Amino acid sequence: MAGRSFVQLPASERGPLPGAEPAGPVDGSQRAEITLILRRRAELPLDASGAPVRLTRAELEQRYGADPADAELAAGTLAGLGLEVTGQDAGSRRVTVAGTLSALAAAFGTELSLVTSQVPGSSQRVTHRYREGVLQLPAELDGVVVAVLGLDTRPQARKQSRLADPAAVAVSYTPPQVAGIYQFPAGTDGTGQTIGIIELGGGFSASDLDTYFSGLGVAVPSVTAQDVDGASNVPDQDPNGADGEVLLDIEVAGSVAPGSGLVVYFAPNTDQGFIDAVTTAVHATPTPAAVSISWGQSEDSWTAQARSALDAAIADGAALGVTVCVAAGDNGSSDGVTDGQPHVDFPASSPHALACGGTSLQADPATGVISSETVWNDGSSGGAGGGGVSDVFALPAWQASVGVPETASGSSGRGVPDVAGDADPNTGYQVLVDGKPAVIGGTSAVAPLWAALTARLAQATGGTFGLIQTQLYAGVAAGQAAPGFQDITTGSNGAYSAGPGWDACTGLGSPDGAALLARLTIATGDPGTAADGGAAVS
């Protein structure tokens, strides 16, 4: 590296990882592949509501993707440092680079080691690459490269599902029963739509799906597994592990919208894997109506560069018409952080994601009558729906009138969640995991439920929605129930309590699907364009 000038990469700083234990040096001769995110040619344009303007795939790439000159500069510079450029995609602004760990560490001015640390939300410990401090860039790439992902491979996210204790289950439902209780639009099953599902571990077997869907009397949907960054569909045979998450997501989305094609993206549980999976999903062909994400972690556990990169990928999805549904978390207002302060989960806190919170639902599946629906909170021994106010994302324009409170420090921020649905494991979902019946809850179930609802609404309206919040929040004032929702007014998730209108426990509430369809159709008076969110820019 003699004679080269280097600069710091903004927002790349990593502090010490609590609980990490040294596990020796890395093998410098080992090869790895990392992902670089390049700057946009121009910022995404916003409409009057603050949502990304609808774009075609070609427009997104040619106007707001990476400049080919930037990609060539990055490729040439890194090749000169002994690295191999293994892929470039201007539309998603990604360049993948491979090399020995020694060469990668030198190129980005860091030291890599091995440590063991605990997987978030689990007692399991894993060994992974580790770094601290700020990354460096060759000076030629200053401002061109905005994120370098994959040098540190610590587990980035936790699954947002909880296996119910059979002795504690008060009532449970099949996912189609929940959809019926929530009045999902009649005559729809998601036909013609695609739902992407993000998974950071675990897997499924075709036999589980065949048995489950046939048991419900539902046609087995099309389910395709797609590998990302070397991960694949590998069941771990642990119903309380990642398999439970994977099967919950597929079985909820697939039984509620069986006409939709499901594409399940399996990626490593790292910031690189998470971002590459979401980016691959939203840029897929055909463009999905919705993407379901049931993984996350508190905002402060992410580097700022990774948060920005994932938020930008979700924004790309919104511009392309994808509604990205994200579980808001299962640890109440603390989000599992032990500092005594409120925290929100990311990527649910992205202003471009539909954040999905949790309720406890008591209803009669036969009649669809809800007798009680409150904030999900099982107390100190159990989980609770996540929600609160972001410390890093500003209050969106479309949320400005609903009464989002200030943070503990007195600043404003994006309120979480936007919407809710049944998440209490004790009123949970009947699923089949690794051949065994189980009842599972968590906001993990709410993300695929809303993804399935979005697909059915898209089928009914003839268009997709992108940032659907601009329509869900339109005309809603603080303390006012939103049309198309059951307003949840009872319960608390810790620091926040439910009340009339939007709140930081259940957002606007749980859905009334038929009323939402009517509202979305009336929005423009034309079912064919009500969902389009405006014409593409020309």
Rounded Cα distance, 183 and 310, in Å: 33
Give, for 345, the enclosing helix (H) or strand (E): strand 345-346
Dig out the tokens for 294 from the structure: 């049931």
Q: What are the backbone angles phi and psi of residue 483, rounded to the nearest 5°? A: -60, 140
Rounded Cα distance, 328 and 105, in Å: 35
User: Which residues, listed in sequence order, are joined to residue 265 by a DSSP beta bridge?
Assistant: 198, 226
Residue corresponding to tokens 């268009």:
463
Closest by CA to 204, choosing from 284, 265, 118, 285, is 265
Residues carrying an active site annotation: 245, 249, 444
Contact yes or no for 117/126 (Cβ under 8 A): yes
Give me the amino acid identity at 190.
G
Rounded Cα distance, 460 and 456, in Å: 6
Angle at 317 between CA 315 and CA 323, to 5 degrees: 105
Rounded Cα distance, 517 and 457, in Å: 6
Q: Where are the beta strands (DSSP E) in 42-173?
A: 84-89, 94-100, 113-118, 125-130, 136-138, 145-149, 158-159, 162-163
Give me the amino acid identity at 255.
S
Return the axis-axis angle of helices 443-461 and 242-256, rounded to nearest 10°. Answer: 30
DSSP line for 229-297: TT------S-TTTHHHHHHHHHHHHHHHSTTSEEEEEE--SSHHHHHHHHHHHHT-SSPPSEEEE-EEE
DSSP line for 396-464: PGGGTTS-PPPPTTS----EE-SEEEE--GGG-EEEEETTEEEEEESHHHHHHHHHHHHHHHHHHHTS-
Provide the edge-to-edge strand list for the sheet that holds 158-159. Answer: 158-159, 295-298, 345-346
Contact yes or no for 328/385 (Cβ under 8 A): yes
